[in-house]
Structure 1
Amino acid sequence: MRIVIADDHAIVRSGFAMILNFQEDIEVIGGAADGLEAYAMVAKHRPDILIMDLSMPPGESGLIATGKIKEDYPDTKILILTMHDDEEYLFHVLKNGASGYVLKSAPDEELLLAIRTIHQGGMYIHPKMATSLVREFIRKEKDSYTEDPFELLSKREMEILPLIAKGYGNKEIAEKLYVSVKTVEANKAKIMEKLNLSSRPELVEYALRKKLLDF
């Protein structure tokens, strides 16, 4: 594994380089003092992994650099190595493409585990931070569930929606559900309005997303 280390303290870069170069499967090929230098090193060497600190004053921070590097060089995996155990930092860098988050207070064994994990295509989050990540995920899932317009549909509308998506006409749906054609038409209009849809293809796509079609 070819690795670049980005940290504003030269002694920190040297210390981590010594630990990593001692491993048979790891080679540190360069260092950077801020986000701009980290970007340049990645552009030049295309390392397998970039280990990056978040706060590197007065240069560009790792927070900003992570998104730029992942956008332009997606094959380089980014492992955040920082003293910040703030969940906001964690959420931000993960959204911007980081594959791992380790605290500088962690033992050497954890750093090596994180490197090997993300190199194999996985993700590694420091256990202390993983709890915050799970809590946030659960909270957002609850929020999205309560805000989902699908929950606004009536029982009759939820019966009619998949039938429309499957291609049945209004008369066929009316016969299947033992209701009038006007009832079907009225419910269809309400479905389109509640789900903010404007065409049958959009409705089919929505039904597929919701797993309402038992093809």
Structure 2
Amino acid sequence: MFTYPSTDPMSNRGPLRPIKVAVAEDHDILRQDFSEMIENQPGLEWVGAAATGNEAVELAQRQEPDIMLMDIEMETHQDGIEAANRLSLLRPNIGIIFLTVHEDEETIYKAYTLSNARDYLVKSAEHDEIIRCIESAYTEQQHGSSSMSSKLKSEFSRLKQTESKLIRFMGILSQLTQAEREIIKLLLAENKVEHIARIRMVETVTIKSQINTLLKKFGMKRTREIVGLIHELNVAFIFE
């Protein structure tokens, strides 16, 4: 269980107050369930609930919670994301924990890139997990740290970039000739241009010309960039 020292060691403010938590959820039963969970948890203080993105922003400005549980989908598909984005400008000190029905990577990625989200939870999460998430988000907020959210944002960003690169790579792959595929296979085996020419029994100038065409198709300047991309995407098996 999350416990508090009797005084704040970083200041002379005296006894620490509970973590102020607000809830933004459009389903009545879930909103009540989350609210009661917070009210009954020592160390947490429930400061209000909202059913729409606009209500969430108004509530946050009025009560200034430390943490807000924010449903991603309320009135519209991304109502919670839009509300969180507004709060990141109006009340940047409020930590946002997104609530979602499904672990939809696309939606979660967008949520993290548009706001100062601290974490996200699937609505079916156990109460203990939700409480731990609130406490962790608050601790990060107090220490100016966002290790969890930064790692998640970084990972989502990496996955998104990899997805974009893979889509582009597959488009280029469909345009490659059989000869170009074989040259890439030999490049992956770390063969030099002269060796590739001998293996394919053609002039070196022919291989150089084919490699120049390959580089143009990939939009790159060096063959090692093509090799690096293939290893990064883990698709070398395509050329085996």
Shared fold (TM-score, shorter chain, > 0.5): yes
CA distance 1:136–1:76, shift in 2 (3 Å):
closer
Q: Give the counterpart letter for 1:27 in structure 2.
A: E
Segments of 5+ residues of structure 2 without an aligned counterpart are 1-18, 141-145, 166-240
Q: Provide runs of 4+ in structure 1 moved above 2 Å.
A: 57-60, 122-125, 132-136, 138-144
Letter in 2 for 1:140: Q
Counterpart pick for 2:161 among 113, 119, 140: 140
- The whole-number CA distance in structure 1 between the counterparts of 2:104 and 2:77 is 21
Partner of 2:90: 72
Whether the 8 Å CA contact 1:80–1:100 is kept in 2: the answer is: yes
- How many Å separate the matches in 1 of 2:160 and 2:77? 35
Paired position in structure 2 for 1:35: 53
How do 1:38-187 and structure 2 match up within 5 A?
38-57=56-75, 61-95=79-113, 96-121=115-140, 122=146, 124=148, 134=155, 136-137=157-158, 140=161
Counterpart CA distance in 2 for 1:2 and 1:135 is 29
Change in CA separation of 1:4 and 1:85 when aligned onto 2, cut-off 3 Å: same
Indicate if the aligned counterparts of 1:54 and 1:62 stay in contact, CA closer than 8 A. yes
Once the 2 structures are TM-superposed, how far is the Cα of residue 116 of structure 1 from its aligned partner? 0.6
Q: How does 1:198-213 map to 2 (within 5 A)?
A: none
- C-alpha displacement at 1:90, in angstroms? 1.1
Displacement of 1:136: 4.5
Query: Alpha carbon RMSD of aligned pairs, Å?
Result: 2.8
Alpha-carbon contact 1:3-1:49 (below 8 Å) kept? yes
Would you say the 8 A contact 1:4–1:30 is kept in 2? yes
Distance apart, 1:140 and its partner CA: 3.4
Q: Mark the CA change 1:17 to 1:141 in structure 2 (over 3 Å): closer, same or farther.
A: same
Structure 2 SS opposite 1:64: helix
Task: Find 1:26's aligned residue among 21, 40, 44.
Answer: 44
**CA deviation after TM superposition for structure 1 residue 64, in Å:** 0.9
Letter in 1 for 2:128: E
CA spacing shift, 1:134–1:37, aligned 2, 3 Å: same
Matched AA of 1:39: V
Match of 1:164 in 2: none
User: Structure 1's 40 and 90: CA in aligned 2 closer, same or farther, altered over 3 A?
Assistant: same
Partner of 2:206: none
Residues 114 and 97 (structure 1 numbering): CA distance in 2 closer, same or farther, change over 3 Å?
Answer: same
**Kept after mapping to 2: 8 A contact 1:6/1:35:** yes
Query: Which residue identity does 2:59 align to in structure 1?
Result: M
Instruction: State the SS of the aligned residue for 2:124.
Output: coil
In structure 2, what is the Cα distance between the partners aligned to 1:93 and 1:54? 8
Q: For the Cα contact (< 8 Å) 2:109–2:157, is it kept in 1?
A: no
Question: Hey, what does 2:185 align to over in structure 1?
Answer: none
CA–CA separation in structure 2 for the residues paired with 1:25 and 1:78 = 18
2:120 maps to a residue whose letter is Y
1:120 aligned counterpart, secondary structure: helix
